[in-house]
A and B are shown apart, each in its own frame.
Chain A
Amino acid sequence: METPPLNSLYQQLILEHYRNPRNKAELEEKSVEIHMANPVCGDEVRLQLRITDDQIEEAKFVGQGCSISQAAISMMTTLLHGCSLADAKILAECFTKMMQGDPDAAKDKRLKDLRVLQGVSKFPVRIKCALIGFDALQEALKTYAKEETS
């Protein structure tokens, strides 16, 4: 299989988020925190959310990894502020579908800037990098829901 051109991967917006990640800090008051790592490559993220009344007030992360993983997490956190838990779940599902190559998901306006990551879906070994942040988000939502009901 031929690798598609690199410029579909390394778009300026991605590199910009990699160099200046948004919301990369510890959250003082957090409702839930998830640590996620990819042991194959060492990508690592700790995602922290502050939630009130089923709404994400704040999302921050700390971690390390490649440009794709860091840019995806950074963009994701900017979309989570003020987002309802239900919408966050939809966002995660939509992004995951885009990474699996679903063309309709890639057109979904709710993904906003995250759509620049569509090109990653053509680099199978890098899809995991793009997904690590959203995988952490989905775990966080599940963990929070469990803690709320118990």
Chain B
Amino acid sequence: MTIATFDPVTIRREFPTLEQSVNGRPLVYLDNAATSQKPRVVLDALRAYYENDNSNVHRGIHELSRRATVAYEESRAKVAGWVGAAEPSEIIWTRGTTEAINLVSTAWGLDNVGEGDEILISVLEHHSNIIPWQLLARRTGAVIKYIELDEQGRWILDELPRLLTDRTKVVAISHVSNALGTVNPVKRVAAAAHEVGALVLVDGAQGAVHMKVDVQELGVDCYAFSGHKMCGPTGIGALWARRDLLDSMEPYQGGGEMIHFVGRDESSWATVPHKFEAGTPNIAGAIGMGAAIDFLSGVGMDAIAKHEHELLGYALERMSAVDGIRIYGPQSPDEHSALISFTLGDAHPHDISTILDSEGIAVRAGHHCAQLAMQHFGISATARASIYLYNTESDIDRLIEGLEQVRGIFS
């Protein structure tokens, strides 16, 4: 699909789920940071694979297996291109961001992090970039240190020289916060981390979704992301890591596909990336993620970023004018990615979400798997409206109407 000029209303028609009413009103979907909707081309790709080419990859000598393998590896190449990998073999298929981080914290972490070593993460992280490191720390006796936040949820980097020491083995940070929408200065932290020889892993679950990512330019070692937040299916995602790093690592899981030769006592491993892909993978999901990348590339990431930036500016302006609202995170659209986290008067975020839902508006309410960030602000939850390429100003207008209704009930 090619779209000559960017028009969210035209784009919207490509997403079947968006063409429905909820509670008697046309659906306004503003929970994109949790998962995006899927365009027809992605659904078609899944169906075409299962109808025409379904078979296992890298195993059969027959025609169907050949076709499935080609499509699966072509998708890997698309994902590699998506983040600027040096070669497709630097892309490991995973279930998503969570598994990609766990892969590194386990396969790399257990061999490279020891007692008294330090792991640096930020208070802003999603639980999937906290817990794997806590598990590693518990198993190795390593210590976790935190980059703290200022009053707008930005990393306080003055402390960085003190936080990074010769014991720092890994720095694991998010590209974009799912709780506040902050675009983090990853490049700067990565450069400082490399000076003390630490590995830099980036949680890109909210990054590769809204902007063109170039891992070389960012200067990081690992980048983890999920297909389902960028128009692809659930259950598929990827880890990008430098080839030499992947070559040096032990496998993550053992099983079929990841071996070179199996002996009674000793076995040897397949080459990267297959060394990290034990068992039958999510073939359809990988193909679907490739189709999602084709779709987003067709629309154009620059056009998407521009649209989202304008819409976010509009949303920030309109929402700031709602009486009793408090918006968490950076207040300027320039430091913000496509979501707004807020509370409204004494209405609890759950109540906000229920009232909006009754108007057909989907937002998220809760701690957004970022309890440390919530604790920083002394709250337990926020409501979160997150936008994507298919959202329009009229969606924001509906949100504002809904928020006025919340005020009506809770004032």
Mark interface residues in A73-90 (1 if CB within 8 Å of B CB, else 0): 000000000000000000
- Known A2-B24, A40-B366; judge A15-B350 contact (CB<8 A): no
Selected from A6, A42, A64, A70, the residue in CB contact (under 8 A) with B409 is A6
- Known A2-B23, A9-B354, A66-B348; judge A44-B380 contact (CB<8 A): yes
B403 to chain A, nearest CB (A): 14
Chain A: CB-nearest residue to B357: A3
- For this complex, 27 residue pairs linking A to B, each with C-beta atoms less than 8 Å apart, are A3-B23, A3-B358, A6-B355, A6-B409, A10-B351, A10-B355, A10-B409, A15-B409, A15-B410, A18-B346, A19-B346, A41-B350, A41-B365, A41-B366, A41-B381, A42-B374, A42-B380, A42-B381, A64-B380, A66-B348, A66-B349, A66-B350, A67-B347, A68-B351, A126-B350, A126-B354, A129-B350
A144 CB within 8 Å of chain B:
no
A67 pairs with B351, CB closer than 8 A: yes
Q: What chain A residues lie within 8 Å of B367 (beta carbons)?
A: 41-42
Interface size on B, residues (CB 8 A): 21
A44 and B371 alpha carbons, distance in the complex (Å):
13
A124 to chain B, nearest CB (A): 11
A10 and B366 alpha carbons, distance in the complex (Å):
19
Q: What chain B residues lie within 8 Å of A44 (beta carbons)?
A: 380
A129 and B349 alpha carbons, distance in the complex (Å):
13
Interface residue range, chain A: 20 to 34
A137 and B104 alpha carbons, distance in the complex (Å):
43
A125 and B365 alpha carbons, distance in the complex (Å):
12
A123 and B354 alpha carbons, distance in the complex (Å):
9
Mark interface residues in B368-395 (1 if CB within 8 Å of A CB, else 0): 0001001000001100000000000000
Residues of B within 8 A of A (CB): 23-24, 346-351, 354-355, 357-358, 365-367, 371, 374, 380-381, 409-410
A101 CB within 8 Å of chain B:
no
B313 to chain A, nearest CB (A): 30
- Known A15-B409, A64-B380; judge A6-B350 contact (CB<8 A): no
Q: What chain A residues lie within 8 Å of B366 (beta carbons)?
A: 40-42
- Known A15-B410, A40-B366, A123-B354; judge A67-B348 contact (CB<8 A): yes
Q: What chain A residues lie within 8 Å of B410 (beta carbons)?
A: 15, 67
A3 and B27 alpha carbons, distance in the complex (Å):
14
Given A19-B346, A126-B350; 16 other pairs, CB 8 A cutoff? A2-B23, A3-B358, A6-B355, A9-B354, A10-B409, A15-B409, A41-B350, A41-B381, A42-B366, A64-B380, A65-B348, A65-B350, A66-B349, A67-B410, A68-B351, A123-B354
Q: What chain A residues lie within 8 Å of B371 (beta carbons)?
A: 42
Q: What chain A residues lie within 8 Å of B365 (beta carbons)?
A: 41
Q: What chain B residues lie within 8 Å of A40 (beta carbons)?
A: 366
A148 to chain B, nearest CB (A): 34
Q: What chain A residues lie within 8 Å of B347 (beta carbons)?
A: 67
A66 pairs with B24, CB closer than 8 A: no
A65 to chain B, nearest CB (A): 7
Chain B: CB-nearest residue to A42: B380
Chain B: CB-nearest residue to A9: B354
A35 to chain B, nearest CB (A): 14
A40 and B374 alpha carbons, distance in the complex (Å):
14
Most A CB contacts (10 A, CB to CB) among B24, B347, B365, B380 go to: B380
A residues 6-52 near B (Cβ < 8 Å) are 6, 9-10, 15, 18-19, 40-44
A46 to chain B, nearest CB (A): 14
Q: What chain B residues lie within 8 Å of A68 (beta carbons)?
A: 350-351
A44 and B357 alpha carbons, distance in the complex (Å):
23
B405 to chain A, nearest CB (A): 8
Chain A: CB-nearest residue to B355: A6
A19 to chain B, nearest CB (A): 7
Most A CB contacts (10 A, CB to CB) among B348, B366, B367 go to: B348
A29 and B83 alpha carbons, distance in the complex (Å):
60
Q: What chain B residues lie within 8 Å of A6 (beta carbons)?
A: 354-355, 358, 409
| Minimum-distance CB pairs A-B, first 7 | A66-B348, A66-B350, A42-B380, A3-B23, A42-B381, A3-B358, A42-B367
A6 and B360 alpha carbons, distance in the complex (Å):
13
A66 and B344 alpha carbons, distance in the complex (Å):
13
A56 to chain B, nearest CB (A): 28
